[in-house]
Amino acid sequence: MADKYQTVDWNYGQNPGFNRYREIDVAAGRLGVNLMVSDDVITRAVVYSDFGSEKIAAKLEKALTGTRLTADDLREALGKRWLKKVLDDSDRSAFMTALLIPKQ
């Protein structure tokens, strides 16, 4: 029972319309994202953070939507100049790694 119900994907990713949830701590605070993933492509993303503006969250949602869950595609999506102002290289790398974790 614990293996199924005490996972991040069950507790957060079972939201209507989403099948994955990822959350990491970065230098600026906490960053979370609800994802709808189909055939290894992010079809919908909603970003939550306790830092930055709604404008940054909306831009990150747009950058992630339509992105394949591969290291190269995520690196390109997360390599935007505006995002580098909010997340440093190690934060972006940690976020990318979290997104690449298979559904638990």
Low pLDDT (below 70) residues in the chain: 1-16, 103-104
Token digits of residue 72: 């190269």
Which pLDDT belongs to residue 1? 44
> What DSSP state is assigned to residue 1?
-
Cα 82 to chain centroid distance, Å, stands at: 16
Which pLDDT belongs to residue 54? 85
Question: What pTM, to 2 d.p., does this model score?
Answer: 0.79
Q: Which value, to the nearest 10 degrees, does the dihedral of the CA atoms of residues 54, 55, 56, 57 take?
A: 50
Which pLDDT belongs to residue 94? 94
Are 69 and 91 in contact, with CB atoms under 8 Å apart? no
- Cite the beta strand spans of 1-104 per DSSP E: 20-26, 29-38, 41-49
